[in-house]
A and B are shown apart, each in its own frame.
Chain A
Amino acid sequence: MKKILLNLLLITPAVVSAGGFQLNLQGLKAAAMGGAFTSLSNDASAVFYNPGAMSSLTGHQFTFGANLVDPYVSVQTPQVANTNQTSPRATPIHFYYSAQLNDKFNVGFLVNNQFGSSSSYEDNWQGRYIIQNISLRTFMFQPTVSYKLHDKISIGAGFVYATGSFSTEKAIPVSSSTTTEGKASLTGSGDGVGYNIGIFSNFLTLENGSKKTDFNLGLSYRSAMPIDLSNGEAEFTDIPVALQEQFPAKTGFTSKLTLPQVFTAGLSVQHQYNENLLFTVIYDFNWTGWSSYDTLTFKFDNKETPESKSVKDWQDVVTHRFGLDITYKEKFSIRGGIYMDNSPIKEGFVSPELPDITQTAYTGGFGYKINEKFSVDFSFIRQSAERRDLLLSANFDGTYRRKVNVYGLALNIKLPGKSKASTSTTE
């Protein structure tokens, strides 16, 4: 297990924003269905989407998934017709595990990248005094337990340990006879804790001969997670000698970033039309408490370095997620979805650092069950949007055009559980 985690950590998780810098790529069935999954329980990603739904998972179930995020972002200003971001592709990953202990209890574990963002520009671009490069990556680790209260209702809870690392670079507008501008490079990391709780209910089943319809409800709440960047390192280069007291070659800094709380309520209907066809429609109402991101402040250990404080003033947002799944003979699935994503960034605050845009995005995907043990999912997300805003604090008037393709591939493994008689106590 440890080895798997270490290997996962080696994968570059610098990732691209979607709905602020939250990554809604945590399960590929969900990703293919507009990101909705809170009221479903058919793979181990329930550990993340709704710990309550984990109770429905039998035996040992594993999911290994990865996404390739392929972003294209261009900026237009009144001065410069076009600047392309040079942001790298990103590969956020997820790993889920659920084990059924007995009729009542399941335990699970997850590792994933729930938040992340990365924007890069050529060093000499017009907005270099605002941003040259910025990257945030997070890893979440969540041991989870679920309990079946009743045939129809189960609950679950997980403790979340999160680590975050952050780096940013920008130019400083000071020149000397030998330099044209200075540069600030900040890197830091930190960690924090939170929790993830959920309730799942298969509250109604209608049967009519071979036809069967299930109605499911899911509620989940993931707490905010304050990440303290307590050991940041700032480097200032190409600073004129006269200003080096203010911008020393090296100094420490501290900062704090609060990852937002997320509440989701979902409803799904699964309709077994006949022996061969199963239809699923799903809706998630998703609320993200982005108002936690109100200011980003860097306090430097060097007294002469001015505190850097930028007001973000993000707002809480609601996302509506709709998805559809048609499964044939329990073997082939085709999925589609749509989500209306609201940007948490108010007018006057959109920065080239993270040009987030309110948009409707489309999703799709396939599932294929190879045998009783193995199945694979493929998902695709398409984002395409444009937004113009004047970043008031910098007086930077940008029109951002953003197209993102996200390709996801996951492997699900299902191993039968031990018989009820031999209950495990080691978990």
Chain B
Amino acid sequence: MKFSKLTYLSATVLVIASCTKTEFDPYEAPDSGTADFSNYVSIGSSFTQGFQDGGLHNEFQQQENSYPAIIAAQMGVSFKQPLVTGVGSGYMHLAFLNEKIEVIKAYDCKKNDNHSLAIAYDPSFLTWTNQTTAYNNLAIGGLNVRNVISFNSTDAITNYILFGGGTPSGQLAWNCVAGEPISPYGRFLNFGSIGSPVDYIEHVKNSKATFFTCWLGIHDVMGWANAGGDDVSGSSILTPIGSFRTKYDALLDTLQLTANGGVCATVHDITEAPFFNTVTLEVLGKDIWIKEGADTNIIRKAVKEDLLLLSSSSLIKEGKGLTMQDPLPHQQVLDKDEVLIVKNYINAINAEIRASAQARAYAILDMYQFMKMVNNGNEFSFDGINFTTEFIKGGFYSVDGIHPNSRGYAIIANEYMEVINASYGANLKPVAVSNYRGITFP
């Protein structure tokens, strides 16, 4: 009798206790669906390398949280990145001077008026990586589609000097030291020697990727646009469309040797970034004189369709552009005709990217459309964080006004994973945007 009472009592206690369980079961392990994530390789430029604030740095896991690394973590696969230490390449940052937030540009060896607070590269950045490591993130800051493969020896040498080294003039090298490459961001790969250069596409081939993401093409137009529509002695030309397609095809053909799945992202409208929309006539509240283009001598008052670059702000403060005699140099303005050229060019290469990916049955992420949503001027939110495109305070972009910050990259990673799930029947879970940092305020 006593025993049975006890039994009833404990049964009742058990029932009541189980009645308070509200926990949801853990999510199931990642499933790649029809794709094979075992060797995920990412191809791209600075946006894919984890670049922000005009540099590659990692004091707060900025590079570590590149969007492909976020995707790989959700895939549950190992993903090696050529990580820099601390301040890495140096970068631009914010300082609070005289009760105002000021942008301090990164230390630049080509200038002799660097700000005393300018951040230069970390010494470790000179011997940054081990070229024998097989990295999964093959993105290189500044990588153009035209640099992926060379069809003649001039191209091959150009690509070598760009990323490999052996720059003849010290002035051109990234740190003004002769023999260094023009861009330091590819030095984790072996580009051979000037006598026998190795193409980027060789590294793509050797990676034996089973799955890839590719966001290339941005720099084929951004170099020109960020120079105010100037090809800077040929180093920032708009890659000819024909050549763009041929090389993009070659890249995907190479990936297709080993990868049965992948996502190609289109290029967003870069003219909508804060870099082109922060210094405006409306904000300045005065007339600005500009020199129109590289090959004209037309000097006129800027109209609102002309986009003044973010970098023109300091020149305008010094008095440039206030008179017809002292106009803003054309490199500081993407004038209204150049804006159209950029927009049309992006539409043209996007058509090629889509066609090339479709021909090989790879998935397409429409970054063009997605970034329209980001940049359309309306506030949007994730996890209760409100974002706008306002420079610095907007929350999506980093201090350079071009690249996203870590939160922005997390949002982009989620867009990729949505496409991967839809295209390959995978079950990748999005990441919580709130777990990533925004801009570092002083």
- Where the two chains meet, the residues of A that have a C-beta atom closer than 8 Å to any C-beta of B are 70, 72-74, 76-82, 84, 126-130, 170, 173-177, 180, 240-243, 245, 382, 384, 393-396, 399, 401-403, 405
CA distance A219 to B437 in the complex (A): 56
Residue B430, interface by CB 8 Å? yes
Judge whether A401 and B19 touch: CB under 8 Å. no
Q: Which of A127, A128, A176, A396 contacts B441 (CB 8 A)?
A: A176
In the A-B complex, the 3 residue pairs with the smallest Cβ-Cβ separation, listed nearest first, are A240-B441, A130-B384, A129-B384
Judge whether A403 and B19 touch: CB under 8 Å. yes
Judge whether B383 and A81 touch: CB under 8 Å. no
Judge whether B432 and A126 touch: CB under 8 Å. yes
Judge whether A70 and B20 touch: CB under 8 Å. yes
Knowing that A130-B383, A130-B384 touch, tell me 8 more A-B residue pairs with CB under 8 angstroms. A70-B20, A72-B21, A74-B24, A82-B24, A126-B434, A128-B434, A173-B395, A175-B440
Residue B429, interface by CB 8 Å? yes
CA distance A327 to B231 in the complex (A): 94
Known: A81-B24, A382-B19. A129 touches B441 (CB 8 A): no
Nearest chain A CB to B380's CB is how many angstroms away?
A: 7
Residue B94, interface by CB 8 Å? yes
Judge whether B19 and A175 touch: CB under 8 Å. no
Q: Which of A76, A127, A241 contacts B384 (CB 8 A)?
A: A127
B10-35 with Cβ < 8 A to chain A: 16, 19-27
Chain B residues contacting A180 (CB-CB under 8 Å) are 437
Chain A residues contacting B24 (CB-CB under 8 Å) are 74, 76, 81-82, 399, 401
CA distance A74 to B22 in the complex (A): 6
Residue of B with least CB distance to A131: B384
Judge whether A129 and B385 touch: CB under 8 Å. yes
Known: A130-B383, A403-B20, A405-B19. A77 touches B432 (CB 8 A): yes
Nearest chain A CB to B338's CB is how many angstroms away?
A: 34
Q: Which of A81, A173, A240 contacts B442 (CB 8 A)?
A: A240
CA distance A84 to B24 in the complex (A): 9
CA distance A394 to B99 in the complex (A): 31
Nearest chain A CB to B42's CB is how many angstroms away?
A: 21
Chain A residues contacting B27 (CB-CB under 8 Å) are 81
Known: A84-B23, A128-B434, A129-B434. A395 touches B380 (CB 8 A): yes
B400-442 with Cβ < 8 A to chain A: 407, 429-432, 434-435, 437-442
Judge whether A243 and B441 touch: CB under 8 Å. yes
Residue of B with least CB distance to A173: B385
Judge whether B442 and A405 touch: CB under 8 Å. no
Chain B contributes a number of interface residues (CB within 8 A of A) equal to: 36
Judge whether B437 and A175 touch: CB under 8 Å. yes
Nearest chain A CB to B240's CB is how many angstroms away?
A: 41
Chain A residues contacting B435 (CB-CB under 8 Å) are 126
CA distance A243 to B96 in the complex (A): 10
CA distance A82 to B22 in the complex (A): 9
Residue of B with least CB distance to A125: B434
Residue of B with least CB distance to A351: B384
Chain B residues contacting A174 (CB-CB under 8 Å) are 438, 441
Most chain A beta-carbon contacts within 10 A, residue among B20, B99, B383, B439: B383
CA distance A241 to B21 in the complex (A): 44
| A-B contacts, 20 listed (Cβ < 8 Å) | A72-B20, A72-B21, A74-B22, A77-B432, A78-B429, A127-B383, A128-B384, A129-B383, A173-B385, A173-B395, A173-B407, A175-B60, A177-B440, A242-B96, A243-B441, A395-B381, A395-B384, A396-B383, A403-B19, A403-B20
Chain B residues contacting A78 (CB-CB under 8 Å) are 429-430
Chain A residues contacting B407 (CB-CB under 8 Å) are 173
Nearest chain A CB to B8's CB is how many angstroms away?
A: 17
Chain A residues contacting B370 (CB-CB under 8 Å) are none
Nearest chain B CB to A90's CB is how many angstroms away?
A: 15
CA distance A130 to B383 in the complex (A): 7
Known: A81-B27, A242-B94. A394 touches B384 (CB 8 A): yes
Known: A176-B442, A177-B440. A393 touches B381 (CB 8 A): yes
Known: A77-B432, A126-B383, A175-B438. A72 touches B22 (CB 8 A): yes
Nearest chain B CB to A312's CB is how many angstroms away?
A: 15
Chain A residues contacting B431 (CB-CB under 8 Å) are 79
Binary CB contact string for chain B from 55 to 90 against chain A (1 if under 8 A, 0 otherwise) = 000011000000000000000000000000000000
Chain A residues contacting B384 (CB-CB under 8 Å) are 127-130, 170, 394-396
Chain A residues contacting B21 (CB-CB under 8 Å) are 72, 403
